[in-house]
């Protein structure tokens, strides 16, 4: 998921809210009811959004997630099924993954409205997986269990994916302006990877800058203790959050443990990413 763009969008939203606050003053002065209604609608939307933040169990651990468009979003771009949120830890044998794709074979289809630009990104990302990891992404013929790349939006640059092997059809959603690196990131969730910053050993390597995180978003930085950390912590992992993910002020939300900044990677796999995937799919 392209957090940087998301941050920009958030800033735009904040700017819009400032404008609305300004309008509220104007509305009060001029008794313009239309503006008041708009402001009320905005306030109601915000209240609903916060109501959509829920708690559930994942692998035996209580986690916070957001219900949006009927989907359960965990840490921004990982989609959990209702089943995953009700199973106890005995059902989760996946470690870093929820569960593995049998034989490391991942059958996929691409939605007809995806367009050739994203189609090419998918091809590039599939080749990266097929050339560098033990997972094989294979165009689906008639398999029952598969992933479909669906088109998210024509304006955004985000993506999301179901985590691990689900059985039946599952999705990876790609917006028009997503990067190839972020396609590789979303496919990492499909393979079974959670975010690197959620590892239980992360505090040895990074420092979460809680004061810079947007109100109501701190839960996205919680550790996920129920998974199994594979290999050493990898700050350049394609599965790391951006340094300014969910920043409310443009300042870093994640730094190195020694308080210096790190550079994010969305160009492709690091050796650590490949080693992790291959440990999961020997």
Which of the stretches 19-27, 71-79, 103-111, 126-134 binds Zn ion when contact is defined by CB under 5 A?
71-79
Point out the residue whose Cβ comes nearest to Zn ion: 77
- With binding defined as CB under 5 A, does residue 77 bind Zn ion? yes
SS (H, E, C) 159-221: EEEECCCCCCEEEEEECCCCCHHHHHHHHHHHHCCCCHHHCCCHHHCEEECHHHECCCCHHHH
Annotated binding site: 185, 189, 195
Compute the distance between CA of residue 87 and CA of residue 54 in angstroms, rounded to an integer.
16
196 touches Zn ion (CB under 5 A) = no
User: Roughly how many angstroms between the first and final C-alpha of the chain, as a whole number?
Assistant: 27
Q: Answer yes or no: are the C-beta atoms of 192 and 98 closer than 8 Å.
A: yes
Residues present in the chain in total: 282
Strand pairing report for 254-256 and 206-208? antiparallel
Question: Rounded to the nearest whole angstrom, what is the least distance from the CB of residue 155 to Zn ion in the complex?
Answer: 20
The nearer residue to Zn ion, 27 or 221, going by C-beta atoms, is 221
Tell whether residue 158 is a contact of Zn ion (CB under 5 A).
Answer: no
> Shortest Cβ distance from residue 246 to Zn ion (Å)?
13
CA distances to 42, 212, 222, 241 from 249, rounded to whole Å, are 22, 6, 20, 17
Q: How far is the CB of 262 from Zn ion (least distance, A)?
A: 17
Is 186 catalytic? The answer is: yes
We find the least distance from the C-beta atom of residue 34 to Zn ion, in angstroms, to be 40
Question: Which of these ranges, 53-61, 70-78, 129-137, 210-218, lies near Zn ion under the rule CB under 5 A?
Answer: 70-78
Binding residues for Zn(2+), by number, are 185, 189, 195
Cα dihedral 266, 272, 277, 278, rounded to 10, equals 140
Which residue among the candidates 37, 38, 128, 186 is catalytic per the annotation?
186
Q: Which of residues 220-279 bind Zn ion (CB under 5 A)?
A: none
When the beta carbons of 27 and 160 are compared against Zn ion, the nearer one is: 160
Q: Is 76 left (phi over 0), alpha (psi -120 to 50) or beta?
A: left
Q: Which span sits near Zn ion by CB under 5 A: 6-14, 69-77, 129-137, 145-153?
A: 69-77
Contact residues: Zn ion, CB under 5 A: 77
Residues catalogued as catalytic: 186
């Amino acid at each position: 998921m392209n957090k940087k763009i998301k941050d920009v969008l958030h800033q735009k939203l904040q700017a819009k809210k400032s404008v609305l606050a300004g309008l509220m003053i104007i509305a009060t002065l001029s008794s313009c009811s239309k503006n008041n209604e708009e402001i009320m609608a905005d306030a109601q939307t915000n209240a609903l959004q916060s109501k959509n933040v829920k708690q559930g169990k994942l692998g035996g651990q209580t986690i916070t997630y957001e219900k949006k468009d009927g989907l359960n979003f965990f840490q921004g771009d990982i989609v959990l099924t209702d089943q995953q949120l009700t199973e106890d830890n005995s059902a989760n044998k996946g470690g870093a993954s929820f569960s593995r794709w049998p034989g490391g074979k991942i059958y996929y289809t691409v939605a007809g409205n995806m367009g050739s630009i994203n189609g090419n990104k998918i091809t590039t990302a599939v080749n990266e997986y097929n050339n560098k990891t033990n997972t094989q992404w294979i165009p689906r013929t008639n398999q029952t269990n598969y992933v479909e790349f669906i088109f998210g939006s024509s304006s955004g640059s985000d993506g999301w994916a179901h985590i691990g092997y689900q059985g039946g059809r599952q999705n990876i959603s790609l917006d028009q302006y997503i990067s190839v690196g972020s396609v590789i990131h979303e496919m990492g969730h499909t393979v079974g990877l959670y975010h690197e910053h959620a590892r239980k050993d992360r505090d040895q390597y990074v420092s979460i800058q809680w004061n810079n995180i947007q109100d109501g978003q701190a839960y996205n930085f919680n550790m996920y203790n129920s998974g199994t950390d594979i290999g050493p912590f990898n700050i350049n992992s394609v599965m790391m959050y951006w340094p300014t993910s969910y920043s409310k002020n443009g300042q870093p939300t994640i730094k190195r443990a020694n308080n210096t900044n790190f550079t994010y990677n969305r160009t492709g796999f690091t050796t650590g990413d490949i080693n992790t995937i291959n440990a999961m799919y020997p």
